[in-house]
Each structure stands twice: as structure tokens, then as C-alpha cells.
Structure 1
Amino acid sequence: MRSLVTAVIAAIEAVAVALAGLAVVAVPAVLVWVITFGLAAEPASVAADVAGVWLLAHFVPLQFSVSAEAALSLGLTPEALSFSLSLAPLGITLISVLLALRAGWRFAGRGGVGAMGVLGGIVGFGAVSLGAAVVAAPLLEWTAMQAAFSAAAVYGGASAVAFLVRAGRDGHPWWEAAVRRILRGLEYLGVRSGAALPHRAADMIRLAAAALALVFGIAAVGFAIAVATGYADVTALTQGLQLDPIGSLTLFLAQLALVPLAIVWSLAWMSGTGFEIGAGSSVTPFETLLGPLPALPMLGVLPEGWGERGAFAPGLLVVAALALGILFARRPGMRRASWPAAVAISLLAAALTGLAVAGISALSRGSMGPDRLASNGPDAWLTGGFIALEVGGGLLIGTIAGRFDVAKIRAALPSAVPSAVPGSGVLHRRHETADTASVHEDDVDFDSAVDEALDIAADRDETDAFATDVSEAATLMPNDQETAAYATEELALTDSGFEPSQAATTETAGSADRAAEALTDELTDEATLVEAYAWDAETPAAEESEDHPKPGRRAGWRWPSRGH
């Protein structure tokens, strides 16, 4: 019961979507019929035209016949003509596609019963399409059932894609079961690492979708720039048609419906393959060859050929794909993947992007007039192939650059290599010092320089020791009263017949000898340091401090205490 209710709701929604698309075509057509023609045309003819244009947007070709008088008035040979119109206004197509994507995504949130929503939508949209095909029967090349099937396929295909994408993202039970069966089949075939296949496939689809959006975004920007630069030509062509306000509004809406078509053609132009407007013509970045064109103001934005500079257009796509590859390669999932897996994801995503572009290019190709105007648009497979190569090259280079770990490579290099690289901080300064020493080695007598350095160090140490002793003596020196008392006591001891003990004299002499030895050691340490800095300018400071520790407090002459 729940599935049936879902299907009915989806069918009603699809009918509303189809009627909305018909209304977009009918409103300007009725305005022209009422205001411009004063209701002169037959209502059935107006309804057939509205239904025919809507079906044309869903890739149903129309058939037109032109009398000899009408052909002469259009500047053609005065003979009856019959031609097919199959160039779809993709702006109207997008209305049905976007609303179908929304419906399929929403029905997928209901789980497995949402599949009935997709089927119900196809039925509802097909019913409206069948009615429109019956009304537009005089203009159709196909039968009514074929036209209804084509329109229903557009809506149903978009809805099914959205449903499958969300089912895979949310992990529907039937989806998980299908994935397990595929993995068991791969395991039976002996394929290793099959468990990671779903995650790798998801990464590939995300990267392909991002690349597809990127290239079409660049094409849209390129078309906007072309409109801005060719606005004067577009205005001149519009004024040459001498339309009334309603006619100008209708022309504007018609060209607005052709904007997505122009963006697809712009992508073909930027890929380097270009497109054609009439048999034998060519519009590429390198050259532009055109014949007689329809009086459509939008065609005034066609650019001139750039010659050799035309390589900038496909090069821009490569650079954009390279940037996308770098960003995608730095994602945690891609960094954990192995190198073969990362490269395979990039190449498969580029191939999928090329297939999508080829399919969209095929839908943007068609006829819009008799004779040479029967062939218009890009070559689908050629455009898709070039896009796959350009995007694939950029993604591959970007993936390699994004996974390139400079820290690991630097750690793997020998420790001597960074010191030889200029601009490496302290190591660079030591390298420069070594170079300077090697340059002036022939002009310096190192023996005399070392002797002079030792003499200067010895003199400086003696001066510092004397200054330190004087400072400490001044600090430890008692006041005048203590000195006088000490002198009086010593004089009294002498008068009483007492002399300083032999032990005290010996201890004082020993203290003096130890002080002299400490001073000699300090001078030796200083001389060793000077010699080390003179002969080995590249020895790190940490090693110098370990080999030659800084001496402690200097042991010089001290003022004798009262105990002595």
C-alpha cells in the first residue's frame, strides 16, 4: 500500500512538472498570438506549436514545410522546402531535468519504496507527453508513442540517477546486498583489495563530477566574456530585425532557452575541437570559417580565430584540472590510497568526464534549417576524447604533485646534501664561511695567525684574572677598623714570642700553587678554543661546547680569612 501511494504521489508531481514546462512555452506564444497577430491564427495551430516546441526540448524532432513564395521571401531559392528541426532548446530541457533530479533524490530518502516513486514519475510525465504529442501531431516526424517515450525517458533518466546516487550514499539494504555480490564475484576471480573498491569508486565519481562542473563552469565564463565583447554586434543584429516589444521579448526568451546550448558549444570551442554552424563551417580557437548564418542575434558573439594563441584555450582546461587534482590528492582518503590506486582514480575520472561531455555534446547537436544548416554543433566523440585527454593529463599531474611529500624525500636524502644547497639557514652560512676560507687560504699564514691568537688570549686572560681578583678583593676587604684590629692582634702575638705555624704556612703555599695551576688550565682551554675556531669553521656550536666545556669560576688569589 505504501509503495502504491508513493507511486501515485510521484505521478502527480511529474504531471505538474510537465505542465510547468508547457506553461513556460505557452505564455510568450499566447502573448504573440493575441497582441501581435490579433488572434488571427487558429487556436489549434498555436497549441500545436507550443506542444511541438516543448517536445523539441525533449529531443523529439519536428518537420516543417515551406512554400515557394515563403522561401523566396526568406532569401532562398523559389521552391518548396521541407526540413527537419532537431536542435533542442536545452534551457527548457533543464526545467524538466532539474525537477526530476529533485524528485528522485527525495524519493530515495524513503528507502526501497522510493523506487516506486521513480516509476510513478515516468508514468505521469509520459502521460502528459503523450497528450502533447497528439496535439502536435502535424509537426512531428515520429509517432505519438515514440515522442511520449522520448520525453518520459528524459524525466525518468534524471530521476533514476538521483535515486541511485542517494541510495549509494545512504547505504540502502538492496544497494549493500548488490555491492556484496559484486565483491564476492571479484574475490572469486582472484581480484585483491576488493573491499576497498566501493570507496575508490565513490572517490572516482566525486572527482569526475567535480571535473565536469569545473569544465562547464569555465565554458560558462568564456561564453559570458564573449557576450560582453560582442554585445555591440548582438545589438546591431537585434535592431536589424525591427521587432515590436512583444517580438523582442519573445526573441529574448528564445535565446535564453538556447544559452545552455551555447555553453556546451563554448566547451567544445575551448577543448580545441570547436563546432560547426552549417556544413563545411568551423569555429575553433585557431580559426573561424563561416558561411551564411541565420538571423539570430546570439550568433554575433562568435569569436574570431586566435591563430597560434588558440592553444591558450585547451591549456586553460589542463591547468584547471591540474589544480583540481592537487586539491583532491590532498584529501585524507586519497593520501591513504596507494600510488596505483590514486593514478587509476584520476584516469578513470577523466574518462568518465569525457564520456559525459560526449553525451551532452551529442544532445546539443542537430538541424535548424534546410541544406547546409542541417548540420550544427560539435563532434560528440571528438570533443569528449579531447576533454578526456586534457582533463586526464591535468588530473594525473595534479595527483602526483599533491601526493609528493617533500618532508619524506628530504629525510631520505643524505645529511650532507642540505648543507650544499644554498639558502638553508645556518648550514648555508657555514657553507659560505668554508668557501671564503678556501678562497683566501693561499693569502693567510695560519701558523703565525694561531701563535698570535694564543698570545692575545693569554694576555687577555691575565688581564681578566687580575681584574677579577681586584674586584673580589675589594668585595671581601674588611673595613678599616677590622684591618687595624687584625694588625694589632698580629703585633701582639709577635711581641709575645709566637710565630705563625708551619701548617698554616704550608696551606697558604698550597693554595697559591693550586691557583696557579687553575690559571694555567684556563689559559690552555682558551687557547684550544681559539685554535679550534681558527682551524675548523664548520664545527657546530653544540660540538664545541661538548668538547671544550666552559670553565667555572676562576680560582685566583683570595683575601685570607681570620682562620689563616
Structure 2
Amino acid sequence: MPSSHRSRGRGNTSDPREGGVDLSVESSARPRTGAAQPRWPWPVVTVLGCLLGVGGVWVVLTGLLAPEWLALKNARFSDLTRGATRLWLLAHGVPMTGLGLHLSLAPLGLTLIILLVGEQTCRYGTRVMSAGRRASGRGPSTRAAGQVAAVHASTHLVLVLLLCGSAGADPWPRGLVGGLAVGIVSGLLGAVRGARLDLTDELPAGVRGIPSAATAGVAIVLAAGAVALAVTLLMHGDRAIALHQSLAPGGWGGVVLLLVQLAWLPDLIVWAAAWTLGSGFSIGIGSAVSPFAVRLGMIPSIPVLGALPGIGAPAVAVRIVLAVPVLAGAVAGVVVVRNRDRTGVGRSVGLGAVAGVLSGLLVSLIAVFASGAIGSGRLMRTGAMMPQTLGLAVGLLGVGGALGSLVTALVRDHRSLEPREGGTGGSHRMPRPRSWEDEAGEETRPVR
């Protein structure tokens, strides 16, 4: 900032009676010696933050399981801690086996909470890193943010492997894959937000709009799944309530049962999204729930599963949900073309198709994480039907993306070619060139 003061230093040759003004401006690129240095190095803060985040979630899980543990006879404290650990590991995809039950369906609700906590802790570590770089005259960079994310992801993976060893669970390969996935996703999100970076700037200019377009397509498919799940719960909610009452869980047991179903609520949304794609999902080997047919066998006594549709062929009008993936792909195509400069129709259609296909691949990847076992025997396979979900998601969203980008490009080109007069859009009359007769007429036209 410019400083206004009188020069009072020695060696000043100017007249002291004159009010000299110093207009020197200090460059912001120089290191500020008075800037506060962080008390802890950012690697230490990142590792400690990851440890505290994981410990906090584990303590909450232990507290939720404590009342049920106290109700057991001859229960040991190690049973409580091991149960909380196995539940935390299950959120990473590590199977849980005990009492003749094999459970590998990850509670994605708990996984999302772990991701959110990890993102916040890594975000704080990135802020400490950015403060240290600014104190030394440098700003945050993509490379520095990547280093923070790598430290966070490595720490999270080590914790997953250590807890697998303490709980007697096999970490290979699901523990390794799940620990890496959760650590990398939470680390990258936290590092990017903490450093206030935009990773799309690193992409070529021609494809920068594809990530946001694909995200929009995935969001619409999942939103449609949430709506479909809400509708079926409203239609068959009485059966779910009756099943809950038949279990007689009691006061705290009812709360725990509700929390357990909320933990798996995102999985159910993904299953409903697969239903809107037309492929459907299964609850056990040999079962299928889709807009074309419903085949069910023995269903676990979980209240929310009481809202499943009846066995048989649904009404033909239900198949209108197949328009959902096409609409989602069309939105992705519109987003990827709308914010771009004018390009050829062929290139626009290609970008829209790529955005739709990427949306379908992401939906299929999410469906893989929302699949697993909820028991032994025929219940070893539950979730979206594969590879049908992959084929329909990629195909329908890809076609929708191409159509949406095609329509957007044609409308934009048509508007750019519309003749306009005087800057208004109401007239399509082409302006006539002025001649010397017009000039003469203006000269001799009487003034009114």
C-alpha cells in the first residue's frame, strides 16, 4: 500500500519544510517478514488430522453400539471395540463375518461420513501448507496440494491395514482398494478446496467442460433413483412399518435399526437408479427387480425391504422411467456445449457423447461399490445387475448426450445466423445499402 509520511531519515537532502510524499509500493511477490509462520509443519498437521478424524468416527460408532453391548450377557469390552472397528472397515468394503453371517455390502452412508471428515481434515492441512508457502513468498500450487493429498491418503491406507490386522479381517484385496479409494477421494477434495484450486484449468481447453457435464448427468440419475425410492416407500410403507413392528426392537433397538437402514440408504438409492436404467437390481441369486419383471425369493427381515414391489410384470406405463437416463445424458450434452465457443456440429455431438458415456461409466462404478453380500447362500449377491447396468448406462446416457449437444448446437447456430436490424430481435429485414439518392433526400427533406 502506498505510504504517506514525511521523510525523516539521515542523509535526506530535501528541505525539511517541504512535505515529501513517499509513493514507493512494496511488491506483493516479495516475502513478508512479518507474516506468521505455522506452528506445526503441514505433514505433521495432515497426519494428526487424519488420525483424529478416523478416531472421532470410531468413537461415535462405539458409542452407538454401547447400549446393545451392555444388554448382552458376559460381553467383553474387546467385543465392543472390535464391533466398531469391523463396522468402520465395512464402510471401506472389508467383509464382516461372524455368527454365521457374511456381510460385504458397504454402508455407503457411513462411507460418505468418513469421506466428509477426511475431506475436512485434509483441507485444514492444506490451509497450513498454503500459509507456510505464503509466509515464504510463494502461493499454493497443484503440486503442493497433491503432496498433501498423498500424505493424507497414505495415512488413511495405513490405518485401514492396521485396523484390519487388529480386528482379524483380511485386507486383501478389498481393504487395499477401499482404503486407497476413500483416502484418495477425500484427500484430493480437501486439498483442492483448501488450496482453492480449479483442476479443470489443467485440462486441455477443448475438454474442460466434460467433468462438470458428467457430474450433472450422474446427479440426475441418482436424483431419479432417490425419487423412485421415495415413491415406492410411500406406496408400500405400510408393509415396512408392519415388518418393523413385528421385530419388536424396543426403544434403543429401534433407534439402532433406523440408523442401520440410514447407513445403507445410499445403496438403496443406487439400486433404484439402476431400476430407472432398465437393468434393475437383485436381492439374492435368481431374483430381479426391474421395470419389466419382478422375481423375488426369501427376503431378509429388514423393514425397508418391505417396500419392494409385488411379484409379476409391472404396468407398461412404468417403463417410462427409461427416459431418465436419456434425459440425464441430454443434460450432460447441453452443459458441455452451452459454455463453449461456437464449434462445428460434429465436434459438439462428439463432446456430448463423451460426456454422456463418462456419466454412464461413473454411474456403473458407483453401482459396483453399492453391491455385495448381505448373508450367506443365495444372499451372497445383491445390488445392480451387471453387466446389464454398465451397458444400458453407457448406451442410453451416451445417446442422450449426443442428442442434447446436437439440439443445443443447432439452436445456437440458428440464432447466430438470424438477421438483425438495429440490434433488436423483432425484425428480420435485411438493411438496404444507402445510395447517393438517400443522402440527397436527407439534405432536401423539410424539417418538421
Q: TM-score by structure 1 length?
A: 0.59
Aligned to 1:155: 182
**Matched residues in 1 for 2:119 and 2:356: separation?**
24
Matched, 1:98 2:106: no
Q: Cα offset for 1:238?
A: 0.2
Opposite residue 81 of structure 2, the aligned amino acid is A
Please, which moves more after superposition, 386-395 or 281-290?
A: 386-395
DSSP-derived class of the 1:276 partner: strand
Q: Is the contact between residue 353 and residue 398 of structure 2 (CA under 8 Å) also seen in structure 1? A: yes
Q: Is the contact between residue 97 and residue 154 of structure 1 (CA under 8 Å) also seen in structure 2? A: no
TM-superposition CA deviations, 1:393-416 (whole Å, max 9, x none)? 2222221222224446776xxxxx
Opposite residue 349 of structure 2, the aligned amino acid is V
Matched, 1:49 2:83: yes
DSSP-derived class of the 1:41 partner: coil
TM-superposition CA deviations, 1:468-505 (whole Å, max 9, x none)? xxxxxxxxxxxxxxxxxxxxxxxxxxxxxxxxxxxxxx
**Matched residues in 2 for 1:216 and 1:241: separation?**
31
Q: Cα offset for 1:324?
A: 5.1
- The one of 356, 361, 365 equivalent to 2:362 is 356
**Matched residues in 1 for 2:194 and 2:236: separation?**
46
Aligned to 1:418: none
Aligned to 1:73: none
Q: Cα offset for 1:377?
A: 0.9
Aligned to 2:323: 315
From the superposition, tell whether residues 167 and 296 of structure 1 become closer, same or farther in structure 2 (CA, over 3 Å).
closer
Please, which moves more after superposition, 315-324 or 102-111?
A: 102-111
Q: Is the contact between residue 332 and residue 404 of structure 2 (CA under 8 Å) also seen in structure 1? A: yes
Aligned to 1:62: 96
Q: Is the contact between residue 288 and residue 295 of structure 2 (CA under 8 Å) also seen in structure 1? A: yes
Aligned to 2:11: none
From the superposition, tell whether residues 348 and 160 of structure 1 become closer, same or farther in structure 2 (CA, over 3 Å).
farther
**Matched residues in 1 for 2:76 and 2:212: separation?**
51
**Matched residues in 1 for 2:173 and 2:280: separation?**
32
Q: TM-score by structure 2 length?
A: 0.74
**Matched residues in 1 for 2:197 and 2:369: separation?**
31
**Matched residues in 2 for 1:259 and 1:41: separation?**
30
Q: Is the contact between residue 280 and residue 384 of structure 2 (CA under 8 Å) also seen in structure 1? A: yes
Opposite residue 233 of structure 2, the aligned amino acid is V
**Matched residues in 1 for 2:157 and 2:322: separation?**
41
Within 5 Å, give how 1:114-513 maps onto structure 2: 114-137=145-168, 140=169, 142-143=170-171, 149-162=176-189, 170=197, 198-304=204-310, 305-323=313-331, 325-326=333-334, 328-331=336-339, 333=340, 335-405=341-411, 406-407=414-415
Aligned to 1:25: 61
DSSP-derived class of the 1:162 partner: helix
Opposite residue 356 of structure 2, the aligned amino acid is A
**Matched residues in 2 for 1:327 and 1:209: separation?**
10
Q: Cα offset for 1:289?
A: 0.5
Opposite residue 63 of structure 1, the aligned amino acid is T
**Matched residues in 2 for 1:280 and 1:116: separation?**
47
Opposite residue 381 of structure 1, the aligned amino acid is P
**Matched residues in 2 for 1:258 and 1:233: separation?**
19
**Matched residues in 2 for 1:146 and 1:316: separation?**
35
Aligned to 1:548: none
Q: Cα offset for 1:274?
A: 0.4
Q: Cα offset for 1:247?
A: 0.9
Structure 2 runs not aligned, ≥5 long: 1-36, 131-139, 420-425, 430-448
Please, which moves more after superposition, 266-275 or 399-408?
A: 399-408
**Matched residues in 1 for 2:206 and 2:196: separation?**
13
From the superposition, tell whether residues 202 and 330 of structure 1 become closer, same or farther in structure 2 (CA, over 3 Å).
closer
TM-superposition CA deviations, 1:24-73 (whole Å, max 9, x none)? 32122102122x33x6312222222221111111111122343xxxxxxx
Aligned-residue sequence identity (percent) comes to 26
Q: Cα offset for 1:298?
A: 0.9
Please, which moves more after superposition, 206-215 or 338-347?
A: 338-347
Q: Cα offset for 1:153?
A: 1.0
From the superposition, tell whether residues 337 and 21 of structure 1 become closer, same or farther in structure 2 (CA, over 3 Å).
farther
Opposite residue 329 of structure 1, the aligned amino acid is V
Q: Is the contact between residue 362 and residue 379 of structure 1 (CA under 8 Å) also seen in structure 2? A: no
**Matched residues in 2 for 1:90 and 1:396: separation?**
32
Opposite residue 252 of structure 1, the aligned amino acid is L
Q: Is the contact between residue 329 and residue 355 of structure 2 (CA under 8 Å) also seen in structure 1? A: no
**Matched residues in 2 for 1:25 and 1:171: separation?**
35
Q: Cα offset for 1:146?
A: 6.2
TM-superposition CA deviations, 1:189-224 (whole Å, max 9, x none)? xxxxxxxx7122211111111111121112112212
TM-superposition CA deviations, 1:162-184 (whole Å, max 9, x none)? 37867998479xx98xx6xxxxx
**Matched residues in 2 for 1:167 and 1:381: separation?**
38
From the superposition, tell whether residues 169 and 248 of structure 1 become closer, same or farther in structure 2 (CA, over 3 Å).
closer
Opposite residue 395 of structure 1, the aligned amino acid is G
- Please identify which structure carries the higher helix content: 1
Instruction: Give the paired residue count.
Output: 371
Aligned to 2:5: none
Bigger relative contact order (CA 8 A; separation at least 6)? 2
Q: Cα offset for 1:284?
A: 0.3
